[in-house]
Amino acid sequence: MKNIYSKLCSAAFIAAIGILPISLAAQNTSNPIKGKISLFPDQAQTTISKDIYGHFAEHLGHCIYGGFWVGEKSPIPNTEGLRNDVIAALRDVSIPNLRWPGGCFADTYHWKDGIGPREKRPSIINTNWGGVTEDNSFGTHEFMRLTELLGCDAYINGNIGSGTVQEMSQWVEYLTSDNESPMTRLRKENGRDKPWKVKYWAVGNETWGCGGNMTPDYYGNLFRQFSTYLGNFNGNNLQKVASGASDADYDWTETMIKNPKTRWMMQDISLHYYTIMDNWSHKGSATQFDEKEWFTTLKKSLQIEKIIKGHSDIMDRYDPEKRVGLVVDEWGNWFDVEPGTNPGFLFQQNTLRDAMVAALNLNIFNNHADRIKMANLAQAINVLQSLILTKDEKMVLTPTYYVFKMFKVHQNAKLIPIQLNCENYTFDKESIPSISASASKDDAGKIHVTLANFNPNKDQEITCDLGSATLTQVKGEILTAKSMSAYNNFDKAEEVKPQAFKGATIKNNQLKITMPAKSIVAIELN
């Protein structure tokens, strides 16, 4: 039997052919929705890469400065200038990799500006984000030290837009070579004797846009040229990520992947997809929204599955062995900035709605783990859909942070194929599936199921068939709040944080789950 990945709910299929169910908003809210999930644990073969749970740190707003970096002289507790509270929080979600220095900033970044004594580093203007002065006090050594403290892999984005082949190849050598050469001598002069390990290397970023406004044919030639000179030193094998498509630009992916020489030189190709509620000029408030905006955000976020499938189908034609991974290294909600903040800093609050979008995306990535090998939420701190917000010495963990903490059990576990049937969540004659789910089995034999109930008005009663697994113990966590727009802020107690979940029981190898409206649940079965 072939793997059965998470299917659209049966009601969604009805909507697709033009027969809409009665609006759930008009139903009696005392009657919960009923759904069914079937697990196939004996078919658990595909590993969910831990790198799907990766993050992104760009020189943008207060992501680096004030977020990760405060400097050694700061009164905020730090290790070599890096905030201790931030490091501890990210270690607690088992951060697997961190992408840096961009983003659009990467293709204006020249790495030699960020090495050596800080007082001698040249300042530049951050032309992409706010036009502010970048003093380069956070550079290569600081970033690599950060990854060491976090216990995660480095994902470095090289500059192809305004940089040179020599510049990028020397950066790789500076970081990873132990051979006697000018670059290794320079690294040692700057205080690092032994080379680092760098796992992931992006050859450019958004080369269709801020990374050079290139055509896919032109970029493909540059990718091969640059890649030729990115060496593997001292057992460090770079996993090269080609700059891929935005949204549903399938021509970009096909142009890149169909060329055998280009395909052979890449290990991964990227994909960027942001959930924009309305349009780029009016993205809506992150905190002031109604049910229509809640529904629209989820509906647009769900489109990423169709987009992933479209790109994967193209890749399957030219790479049926799935050697090349799809890397969604920018994703998440993008709303209007918070009132009174610098519009170039992209600072937005983070509500239960963001947590729903995080759960939805992570479940989708899990269910497509045969092709998706890495993903990076944009961004880690103080920018867009962040895990963490900081304000001077204060730190806040967002609802999105807690989703990553609840879902980290899937990292490097085996994907359990599932079949999902549920009613629709319908609003204003439009419908989406009311449930999102994924499941996995870890090395200890424990099964984890993560679910989201998108409907803000109706509870869910879900029956889960456990297949061949014999399980008797269940425990879980739930993330929800009284309001759709609830969020955590600096001067009040956390409104959105996980609690113990008591709404799951096992009997006769069948799991029954009662999920409250607008909730996210993580179940562990033993």
If one counts every other C-beta atom within 10 angstroms of the C-beta of residue 505, the result is: 11
Give yes or no for a contact between 142 and 82, defined as CB atoms under 8 angstroms apart.
Answer: yes
Distance CA 186, CA 174 (A): 8
DSSP string of 38-71, one letter each residue: EE-GGG--SB--GGGGEEE--SSTTSTBTTTB--
Distance CA 427, CA 357 (A): 17
Grouping H, G, I as helix, E, B as strand and the rest as coil, residue 436 is strand
Under DSSP, the state recorded for 507 is E
142 is catalytic: no
206 is catalytic: yes
Distance CA 391, CA 389 (A): 7
Distance CA 135, CA 119 (A): 9
Cα angle: 416, vertex 422, 427; to 5 degrees: 130
Catalytic residue among 305, 330, 423, 477: 330
Distance CA 314, CA 320 (A): 10
Catalytic residue among 142, 206, 293, 477: 206
Give yes or no for a contact between 404 and 72, defined as CB atoms under 8 angstroms apart.
Answer: no
Residue type for position 172: V
What are the φ and ψ backbone dihedral angles of 514, each rounded to 5 degrees? Answer: -110, 110
Distance CA 278, CA 282 (A): 6
Beta bridge partners of 200: 155, 239
The dihedral sign for the CA sequence 463, 467, 470, 471: negative
Residue type for position 191: G
Give yes or no for a contact between 460 and 33, defined as CB atoms under 8 angstroms apart.
Answer: yes
Catalytic residues: 206, 330
